[in-house]
Amino acid sequence: MTQRVAVVTGASSGIGAAAARALAADGWHVVVGARRLDRLETLAAEIGGTALALDVTDDASVDAFAAAVERCDLLVNNAGGAVGTTPLAEADLDEWRWMYDVNVLGTVRVTKALLPKLVASGDGLVVTIGSIAAREPYKGGAGYNAAKHAEAALTRVLRLELLEQPLRVCEIDPGMVETEFSLVRFAGDAERAAKVYEGITPLSAEDVAEAIRWVASLPAHVNIDTMMIMPRSQAGASVVHREP
């Protein structure tokens, strides 16, 4: 296989699906992974990529996924999300476990499994999709804040530890992006999810995908360490200007 290969986790929806499309349009062969294989197969057919089932919280699933990936030049650690906005005083530890497992351990599992292939490519790149929640705490965000802060920490450690290897590491931290994120966070409550974006023009999944595509298009000696991308009307985790 001479074409460069990008692996995108959580590609059945939102930022991951948009990133897969943007990368494919830029010449990458894209391997898309997530739990909803039907969606992935439709996407892979559209972009000429490869669909593989992946549950980043399951060791065996990650091992099977990584074994099926022949070559990996770019890994986009995108699978993740939030559940609930429960205040810390009433913390639901199952919500915390879910968020830690998918965002933190999921990123560790997939990165660890694909690192040998990334390094062997001679010009590997890991892009991890963090969040403004990785930079700033906000009320109701404790579990997600903790998970995204941890994901950011492990991403920065990876950069330090593999500095002598031909590997670039980038963390992209978006603000509000209109995807299925809020629908997942509010357990399918569409009305509540829509309120999150009321009165603002949020980022689209394509806006973030374009940043991923650009980072991956740079010459091998250029490492974008971190990038924050916000809607114009958002200037912090809880600083949002809404039009009436």
Which residue's CB is nearer to ligand NAP, number 9 or number 111?
9
Tell me, what amino acid is at 229?
A: I
100 is catalytic: no
Instruction: Report the C-alpha gap between 76 and 57 in whole angstroms.
Output: 16
Give me the residue label for tokens 């965000």: 141
Residue 108 is a binding residue for ligand NAP (CB under 6 A): no
> Residue 7: which H helix or E strand, with range?
strand 5-9
Query: CB atoms < 10 A from the CB of 88, how many?
Result: 12
Among 26, 57, 85, 207, binds ligand NAP (CB under 6 A): 57
Residue 98 is a binding residue for ligand NAP (CB under 6 A): no
Instruction: Report the C-alpha gap between 155 and 76 in whole angstroms.
Output: 12
> Residue 66: which H helix or E strand, with range?
helix 59-68
From residue 237, how far is each of 132, 135, 179, 194 by CA, in Å? 6, 8, 17, 17
Residue 176 is a binding residue for ligand NAP (CB under 6 A): yes
Residue 107 is a binding residue for ligand NAP (CB under 6 A): no
Q: 148: burial class by Cβ within 10 Å (0-12, 13-18, 19+)?
A: buried
Which residue's CB is nearer to ligand NAP, number 123 or number 129?
129
Which residue's CB is nearer to ligand NAP, number 64 or number 119?
64
Among 145, 155, 179, 234, binds ligand NAP (CB under 6 A): 179
Among 76, 79, 104, 142, binds ligand NAP (CB under 6 A): 79
Residue 155 is a binding residue for ligand NAP (CB under 6 A): no
**Stretch touching ligand NAP by CB under 6 A, among 50-58, 65-73, 160-168, 217-225:** 50-58
Q: Which residue is nearest to ligand NAP (CB)?
A: 14
Provide CB contacts within 8 A for 93, sequence distance 6+.
Answer: none
Among 3, 27, 36, 137, binds ligand NAP (CB under 6 A): 36
Binding residues vs ligand NAP (CB under 6 A) = 9-16, 34-36, 54-57, 78-81, 102, 129, 131, 174, 176-177, 179-181, 184, 205
